[in-house]
Chain A
Amino acid sequence: MSYVTAAGTETRSYYGRPIIKEPVWTWEIPTYFFTGGLAGASAVLSSAARVSGNEKLARTALYVGTAAELVSPALLISDLGRPERFHHMLRVVKPTSPMNVGSWVLLVSGGASTTAALCQLLGRFTPLRRAASVVATLAGPPLATYTGVLVADTAVPAWHEARRELPWIFGASAAASAGAAASMFVDPRDAVPARRVAVAGVLAEGALMQAMELRLGALGDVYRQGQAGKLSWAAKGLAVTGAALLGTKGRKSRAAAVAGGALVCAGELCMRWAVFTAGRQSARDPKYVVESQRRRIERDGTKATTKPA
């Protein structure tokens, strides 16, 4: 069976069937990409606020991040085919598996954030809280960005070919959500840096997504088509509206800050779903797999080897 593509070239396939398997991950995984990013970036935001002497923002970001940190493992375990075996993730240390590395990072980061938050709540054990905060701050940035590597380290064309941008996009999105979430729960006067992080995160993420789609060429279409395209538009609309609200009325009004923060968070959640869905779409249609490999052969003039290009 064959069909002609937009470029006028013929792609052949086996009865139009997929070549690779679509990811079997369900709703928990893109949701975790959001909560994990929120948790990781919040840890950084909290420590930066503490250093700058903004105690209220530091505490808020710590609590928000810890909440996200506690939801994350629940989401991940619920997605497993054998949830009772979740601890098998920690029976090895395996740098070739981003999921294994991520499990360790989440364990360290979650443990540290929870410890720091408990100490903060009790108002005691300050040295322990400081030590835990340092650990959480170190583990936070990898937690916010490794999920980009997690999806890129597959045979899914829309993810693997976007491996350069995805950790950056996920990092920017994490920052946006952390800034936005903190802005919702703190007095607007204390939330200046959080709003800046939110607005800058939204802008950076939008620009990076555009750059990625451009660089991917024909494969970039998959981010603009079908369900992924709709989610992508929703993500942009929600995040930009929220950022605008945060940057204007949100500076004075708490209600506007809550609305703006919620919109940005909703936008970032949609963005993770858009990337997730684009990956599934590119796995489902054999033309993306065949064409990206055929184009690579044409470009390099030779077939692939196990040495990176």
Chain B
Amino acid sequence: MSAPDGLVTYGDEQQERVGFFTDTSVCIGCKACEVACKEWNLIPEDGLSWTGNSYDNTGELSANTWRHVAFVEQEKPLLTNGNGETGLRWLMESDVCKHCTHAACLDVCPTGSLFRTEFGTVVVQQDICNGCGYCVPACPFGVLDKRHLAPAPDLPAFAKEDGRVWKCTLCYDRLKGGHEPACAKACPTKSIQFGPLDELRERADARLAKLDAEGWNGAQLYGRDPDDGVGGFGAFFLLLDEPEVYGLPPDPVVTTRDLPEMWTNMLAAAGALVVGVAAAFVGSRS
């Protein structure tokens, strides 16, 4: 397994890498994860609205939503072998920050606010973030966003918008205290499983083998492979259809993978600029 970026500095304090395995085949769409996350992390309320998209009135992961349950209604049998076929199925998936092995947000953060914890997770230090917003378009999953809400709209001193970037911390504070993250704790069906990443991968492989044997339609692991474009997710999934059906990118890549090529290109262009300007002076003395 490739070591996550920035995981060399902890020495004796290094912990086992932990993460989530979100098994969508047992998700019942109760949104207890969304609620537990908001409560534990004191995330502000960001509007109560109806989207009209099945039971999803949250919409997407954002600065104020760190767990988001997607609901997909399909005319597609749940099983491929015809047993118990209804032709209709309802997919639910609790989405979260992927805590990538090679995290673009962490790489591009100009202040060092985003960092790799001793647990191998990716966290924003709120006292460092200056709200430059670079991580927002760098994330291939659209996880991070700037928080525009005021910390306390009724108090003049705190009525200005927050302006910083927020995302799932994998409950860094709870991990430090030896507890599992709030969403996993609240999940009533063990759709959200927390634990050491290696163990979760084994569990996911066994689960997929079982679903395949039972003929589940479209069952696949997403982000389990340590050799994928982001070096594997710290929080990976078992899906029942292609990733884009759930609003996930089919083949994400950490953008900084191509950065050496980009810097080389830039230096060549910078050199060409000098040569070009110098050439304009040839024979111009008169």
Q: Which residue numbers of A lie inside 8 Å of B, CB to CB?
A: 11-15, 17-25, 40-41, 44-45, 48-49, 51-54, 79-83, 85-86, 88-89, 91-92, 94-100, 103, 141-142, 144-146, 148-149, 152-156, 160, 163-164, 167-168, 170-172, 174-175, 178-179, 192-194, 196-197, 200-201, 204, 279, 283, 286, 289-290, 293-294, 296-297, 303-308
Question: 5 A-B residue contacts at CB 8 Å?
Answer: A85-B128, A167-B268, A171-B269, A305-B229, A306-B227
Known contacts A41-B273, A52-B284, A17 near B247 by CB under 8 Å: yes
Alpha-carbon separation in the docked complex, A45 to B281 (Å)? 9
A89–B130 contact, CB under 8 A? yes
A141–B163 contact, CB under 8 A? no
Contacts of B109 in A (CB 8 A): 94, 97
A171–B139 contact, CB under 8 A? no
Contact of B261 among A41, A52, A92, A163 (CB under 8 A): A163
Alpha-carbon separation in the docked complex, A304 to B104 (Å)? 15
B270–A145 contact, CB under 8 A? yes
Alpha-carbon separation in the docked complex, A176 to B249 (Å)? 38
- Nearest neighbor of A87 in chain B, beta-carbon distance: B130
Q: Does B110 lie at the interface of the complex (its beta carbon under 8 Å from any beta carbon of A)?
A: yes
Given A142-B270, A304-B228: 20 more A-B contacts, CB < 8 Å: A18-B60, A19-B248, A21-B139, A79-B133, A82-B130, A99-B134, A144-B273, A149-B262, A155-B137, A155-B249, A178-B277, A193-B280, A194-B280, A294-B251, A304-B251, A305-B227, A306-B2, A306-B228, A306-B254, A307-B257
Known contacts A82-B163, A175-B273, A11 near B244 by CB under 8 Å: yes
Alpha-carbon separation in the docked complex, A99 to B129 (Å)? 14
B137–A22 contact, CB under 8 A? yes
Known contacts A23-B137, A160-B255, A163-B261, A88 near B130 by CB under 8 Å: yes
B270–A193 contact, CB under 8 A? no
Contacts of B131 in A (CB 8 A): 80-82, 85
Alpha-carbon separation in the docked complex, A88 to B253 (Å)? 28
Interface residue ranges of B65-79 to A (CB < 8 Å)? 70, 72
